[in-house]
Amino acid sequence: MPRVKKNAQAMKGMCERLRQVLQHVYAGDTAALSEAMGYASEATLRKALSSGDTFPDLERFNALMKHPAKGCVVPNLNWLVNGIEQPLLQIQNGRVVKQLTFGNFVDFFLSGSESGD
């Protein structure tokens, strides 16, 4: 069966959104994001982000969902894939308690306030 051609524009959009998560949530630390996604090395993620023509598989995002960043925040997969809704989800006890913008995240969790309110 022939391989389905990927939508290059959609792939570039997804990679750009993942770069935004890296920048805003992980302060550009590719090693930290790679570790949270279960990669043995950051080289694979770095290559995917720089080329914009490949995207991590679901197993990587499953691992990422199990390793929230500061403030119990994970990327919103709907936003990563489609650009819909807010980019981040704050979770508590395995449930989404709030959607956050990057600005909310920075204000609440990187400015010293841990409440998230």
Q: Using one digit for the tens of pLDDT, what is the confidence trace for 46-102?
A: 988 888 878 889 999 999 999 999 989 999 999 999 999 999 999 999 899 999 999
Q: Which of 43, 79, 83 is nearest to 61 (CA)?
A: 79
What average pLDDT does range 99-111 have in this prediction? 87
Cβ atoms 43, 109 nearer than 8 A? no
- Indicate the average pLDDT of the chain: 89
61: in domain: yes
pLDDT at residue 117, rounded to an integer: 43
Domain count for the chain = 1
CA distance 91 to 74: 8
**What's the pLDDT score for residue 81?**
94
pLDDT at 68: 94
3 domain-assigned:
no
Q: Is residue 100 part of a domain?
A: yes
Confidence of residue 8 (pLDDT cuts 50, 70, 90): confident
Residue 86 lies in a domain: yes
Show Cβ contacts of residue 45 under 8 Å, excluding neighbours closer than 6 positions. Answer: 30, 33, 34, 37, 39, 56
Q: Does residue 116 have a pLDDT over 60? A: no
Task: Write down the pLDDT at residue 59.
Answer: 94
And the tokens for 106? Answer: 């920075």
* pLDDT number for residue 5: 75
**Residue 53 structural domain:** 8-110
pLDDT at residue 103 in the model:
93
The secondary structure element, H or E, covering residue 89 is strand 88-92
Are 75 and 86 in contact by the 8 Å Cβ rule? The answer is no
Examine residue 1 and state whether it is found in any structural domain, yes or no: no
Phi, psi of 28 (to 5 degrees): 75, 5
Closest listed residue to residue 62, CA positions, set 46, 75, 48 = 75
Decide: 73 and 105 in contact? Cβ < 8 Å. Answer: yes
